Structure 1
Amino acid sequence: MFFQILAILIALGLLMFLAYRGYPVIILAPIMALLAVLLSGGHLLPTYTEIFMTNAGNYVKNFFPIFLLGAIFGKIMEMNGAAASIAHSIVGKMGSKHAILSVVLACALLTYGGVSLFVVAFAVYPFAAAIFKEADIPKRLIPGTIALGAFTFTMDALPGTPQIQNIIPTNYFGTDAYAAPLVGIIGSVIVFSMGMLWLERARRKAARASEGYGTGHKNEPEINPEAKLPKFWLAVLPLILVIISNFLFSRSGIAASHWYNPEMLKKVFLIADPATVVSSWSLIAALSLGILTALLLNFRQVSVKLTTTLTIAASGALLAIFNTASEVGFGNVIKTLPGFTAIQHHVLNASSNPLLSEAVSVNVLSGITGSASGGLSIALEIMSKSYLHAAHTLGISPELLHRIASMASGGMDTLPHNGAVITLLAITGLTHRQSYKDIFAITVIKTATVFLIAGVSSFFF
């Protein structure tokens, strides 16, 4: 059994190392999966076509509409000037005295409104650089500030967030995007407060050392002061519409659960439990409304480059989902190997409480793959039934399982090989050596918060 476990660890280790070195996960994942199969004495081609590809395909089938619509929505919000308007308004209103807070809030609003993390980084960075320079705050703190606003509490903790990390658990637990709202809000407050304390402490320390914004930086943005941006109240309209409509389509008299006859869905489309797809339907409808509103906001400006915009958005969505689908395929191959039984036993027994066990497994797999959505999908695909059974025995709500899993995915996923971290540093023209310390601090805060909430919750069961 030792060699069976070693085969899995070698494959996982190589996947993480090579991804950190910049090799594409979409190619690495199947190769590493088949390496684990080979070392375990399994059958290569049947495993690849019937396990890897089948599960990767199922992931694409379940989540591609959300990836695609989210990418289109974010790109149109960028093209029509709405994202820049929101960032500019918040940063401008709060001023240089509250530079860090203003950037965090701008990122949070955009992310919670459904704009993709990558678009948020592109949209906010120019204004963050300008106000940090005005306040003479080191540029090296910008990535950590953007990470706090976009990669943490609005990504997976706040109830109703349309980011994919909050939607994936709905397919496994029959919940919706608003699962365990109180727990999500408490977690958000803790992460936001502790993150701000860390960043402000770093700012004060730099000020005492007379470290200013710095000189000779790469990728310094240029803001066109004559650019015509939509008014703030118009710019936030698509975001508000996505948030409100997603709630109405999830938990109201016009919820997606009432749109079709359950018996028809079961008989014709083989959907045994509509609750597993209602959250996806709700978000698809909400994002579609958001896209139409964003188009109408400044149609003349967007229409000039609409074909290019849609092509870029579609390409980004395809790459993102196939990277994640490859990681899901990898995980499903690993779970069929003999060595995984022993690993699963240790993970499930990390704690007698399914909340803590779930937090461990999702955090570990998200950290290894460098992907919150990838690690979350792998963990739930493999162990969600076990967690549901244990939770039912202890009287734990599936909604709490959902929220802990979602928040745990955004914990250790932001290790150095994470794609979002690498992209953020590239956008800002900074290096891991300059700025990763603060991103890692935010990562530790988020991870600690998940285990704190899971641990406190366990006392009630």
Structure 2
Amino acid sequence: MFVQVVAIVLALGLLMFFAYRGYPVIVFAPIFTLLAVVISGLALMPSYTETYMANAANYIKTYFPIFLLGAIFGKVMELNGAASSIARSIVKVLGSKRAMLSVVLACAVLTYGGVSLFVVAFAVYPFAVAVFREADIPKRLIPGTIALGAFTFTMDALPGTPQVQNIIPTTYFGTDAYAAPVVGIVGGVMVLAAGMFWLEKRRKQAAAAGEGYGTGHKNEPETAEGQRYPNLWVSLVPLVLVLVFNYLLSRGFLTVNTWYSPELLKSFNIANVKTVASSWALIIALFIGIAAALCINVRHVQSKLAAGLTAAAMGSLLAIFNTASEVGFGNVVKTLPGFKAIQNFILNISSQPLINEAVSVNILSGVTGSASGGLSIALEVMGKQYLAAGQAAGISPEWLHRIASMASGGMDTLPHNGAVITLLAITGLTHRQSYKDIFAITVVKTLTVLILAAVLSFM
């Protein structure tokens, strides 16, 4: 059994190492999967074609529309200037006296409205530079500030967020995007408050040391004097439409739960409409948001739309295939003899399902460097056990949903995380310069989830 456990740990370690070094997960996830299979003494090709590929393909089938439409929505909001208009307006209102808070809120509004995390970083960065420079705050603090606004509470804590990390648990727990709203709001406020405390502390330390914005930085954005942006209220319309229709289609009078009869759904192998309803609601809401976004600044968008759609489609393909590769990896791992020992270890960390779930999702998200990848693997492997244990303990599936979702956005932002690497590239900074603050936000998020899980477990 020792050798079988080592096979899994070795495969996970190699996957993390190569991802950190910038090698494509799509290529190396199956290689290290098959390495673990060979060491464990199982059949090589059936494990690849019938387990790895089958589960990767199923993940793509389930979530590709959300990845694609989310990428298109974010790209159109970028092309029409609406994303920049929202960020610019918030930064302008709060000004340099609240530089960090203004950047965090700008990121939060865009992320909660459905704009891709990567697009948010691109859209907010120029305004973050302007306000940090005006306030004479070190540029090295920008990545941590953007990470707090885009990668934490609006990604997976606040109820209704249209990010995929909030949609994945609905498949396993029969919930919707608005699961456990009070828990999510409380957790979101805790993360925001603690994160701002850390960032402001770092700002004051820098000021006391006489450190300002600095000079000689890379990737400084060009000043766009005289550039015209859409009206703020017009820019907000697509975001509001996504949120409103996502709610109406999930829980309101337009709920997709009642659109089709159970007999019809059974003919499509859908035993319970709740397993697909949240995805359907978000798909329709994103369509509506995209249609509205295309009506803003039409002439400017039209000239760049073809190239923009191509870029969005390519980006969504890369994102979902990376995640699907990790999901395939996880599903092969769970068939290996050594996994039983690892699973028993995780399940014995605590007798409380919520604490157990928070730990396992955090660990797997950290190892894979992906919130959605780690979350999918954890719930695919142990989701049924958590649901059964939760029901036995009288724990609501909505709590399981919210804790799992929030836990995915904890240790996922380790140095090899794709979003972290992209954020540092956008800002022209290095891990050495700025990762300390990103890691601090990561710790804040992880501790918040564990605290919430512990409190809920003993209520």
**TM-score, length of structure 2 as denominator length:** 1.00
For 1:391, the equivalent position in structure 2 comes to 390
Which amino acid in the other structure matches residue 391 of structure 1?
G
Once the two structures are TM-superposed, the CA of residue 297 in structure 1 deviates from its matched residue by 1.3
2 CA distance for matches of 1:375 and 1:53? 17
Which amino acid in the other structure matches residue 287 of structure 1?
L
Which amino acid in the other structure matches residue 209 of structure 2?
A
For 1:400, the equivalent position in structure 2 comes to 399
1 CA distance for matches of 2:86 and 2:388? 45
1 CA distance for matches of 2:386 and 2:184? 19
SS at match of 1:169: helix
2 CA distance for matches of 1:363 and 1:115? 24
For 2:257, the equivalent position in structure 1 comes to 257
2 CA distance for matches of 1:154 and 1:346? 32
Which amino acid in the other structure matches residue 209 of structure 1?
A
2 CA distance for matches of 1:117 and 1:189? 20
For 2:412, the equivalent position in structure 1 comes to 413
Q: CA RMSD in A?
A: 0.5
1 CA distance for matches of 2:233 and 2:448? 34
Superposed counterparts of 1:417-428, under 5 Å: 417-428=416-427
2 CA distance for matches of 1:301 and 1:261? 44
* Pair 1:355-2:354 in alignment: yes
Which amino acid in the other structure matches residue 44 of structure 1?
L
Superposed counterparts of 1:310-389, under 5 Å: 310-389=309-388
For 2:246, the equivalent position in structure 1 comes to 246
For 1:204, the equivalent position in structure 2 comes to 204
Once the two structures are TM-superposed, the CA of residue 262 in structure 1 deviates from its matched residue by 1.9
For 1:21, the equivalent position in structure 2 comes to 21
Which amino acid in the other structure matches residue 4 of structure 2?
Q
Superposed counterparts of 1:296-311, under 5 Å: 296-311=295-310
For 2:109, the equivalent position in structure 1 comes to 109
2 CA distance for matches of 1:260 and 1:41? 47
Structure 1 unmatched ranges of 5 or more: none
Which amino acid in the other structure matches residue 83 of structure 1?
A
For 2:133, the equivalent position in structure 1 comes to 133
Structure 2 unmatched ranges of 5 or more: none
Q: For residues 1-34 of structure 1, what are the alpha-carbon distances to aligned partners after superposition, in whole Å with 9 as ceiling and x for unaligned?
A: 1111001000000001111011111111100100
2 CA distance for matches of 1:263 and 1:89? 50
2 CA distance for matches of 1:297 and 1:172? 38
Superposed counterparts of 1:220-239, under 5 Å: 220-239=220-239
For 2:96, the equivalent position in structure 1 comes to 96
1 CA distance for matches of 2:299 and 2:171? 39
For 2:64, the equivalent position in structure 1 comes to 64
2 CA distance for matches of 1:387 and 1:184? 19
Q: For residues 186-221 of structure 1, what are the alpha-carbon distances to aligned partners after superposition, in whole Å with 9 as ceiling and x for unaligned?
A: 000000000000000000000000000011100000
SS at match of 1:311: helix
Once the two structures are TM-superposed, the CA of residue 305 in structure 1 deviates from its matched residue by 1.4
SS at match of 1:84: helix
Is 176-185 or 293-302 further displaced after alignment?
293-302
For 1:142, the equivalent position in structure 2 comes to 142
2 CA distance for matches of 1:149 and 1:141? 13
* Pair 1:190-2:157 in alignment: no
Once the two structures are TM-superposed, the CA of residue 113 in structure 1 deviates from its matched residue by 0.1
Which amino acid in the other structure matches residue 316 of structure 1?
G
For 1:174, the equivalent position in structure 2 comes to 174
2 CA distance for matches of 1:168 and 1:326? 16
For 1:32, the equivalent position in structure 2 comes to 32
For 2:446, the equivalent position in structure 1 comes to 447
Q: For residues 23-60 of structure 1, what are the alpha-carbon distances to aligned partners after superposition, in whole Å with 9 as ceiling and x for unaligned?
A: 11111110010000011111111110000000000000
Once the two structures are TM-superposed, the CA of residue 223 in structure 1 deviates from its matched residue by 2.7
SS at match of 1:13: helix
**TM-score, length of structure 1 as denominator length:** 0.99
1 CA distance for matches of 2:223 and 2:277? 42
Poorly superposed stretches of 4+, deviation over 2 Å: none
2 CA distance for matches of 1:421 and 1:270? 39
1 CA distance for matches of 2:34 and 2:386? 28
Once the two structures are TM-superposed, the CA of residue 260 in structure 1 deviates from its matched residue by 1.2
1 CA distance for matches of 2:391 and 2:451? 22
1 CA distance for matches of 2:22 and 2:269? 41
Once the two structures are TM-superposed, the CA of residue 303 in structure 1 deviates from its matched residue by 1.0
SS at match of 1:351: coil
2 CA distance for matches of 1:262 and 1:354? 31
Once the two structures are TM-superposed, the CA of residue 263 in structure 1 deviates from its matched residue by 1.9
Q: For residues 384-419 of structure 1, what are the alpha-carbon distances to aligned partners after superposition, in whole Å with 9 as ceiling and x for unaligned?
A: 000011011011110000000000000000000000
SS at match of 2:351: coil
1 CA distance for matches of 2:297 and 2:327? 38
1 CA distance for matches of 2:322 and 2:9? 20
2 CA distance for matches of 1:252 and 1:120? 29
Q: For residues 219-265 of structure 1, what are the alpha-carbon distances to aligned partners after superposition, in whole Å with 9 as ceiling and x for unaligned?
A: 00013121111010011110011011100110012111111112211
Which amino acid in the other structure matches residue 35 of structure 1?
L
Matched pairs, number: 459
2 CA distance for matches of 1:201 and 1:166? 31
Q: For residues 348-389 of structure 1, what are the alpha-carbon distances to aligned partners after superposition, in whole Å with 9 as ceiling and x for unaligned?
A: 111101000000110000000000000000000000000011
2 CA distance for matches of 1:55 and 1:270? 17
2 CA distance for matches of 1:361 and 1:299? 46
Q: Percent identity?
A: 71
Which amino acid in the other structure matches residue 322 of structure 2?
N
Which amino acid in the other structure matches residue 150 of structure 2?
A
Q: For residues 59-114 of structure 1, what are the alpha-carbon distances to aligned partners after superposition, in whole Å with 9 as ceiling and x for unaligned?
A: 00000000000000000000000000001100011110000000000000000000
SS at match of 1:242: helix
For 1:81, the equivalent position in structure 2 comes to 81
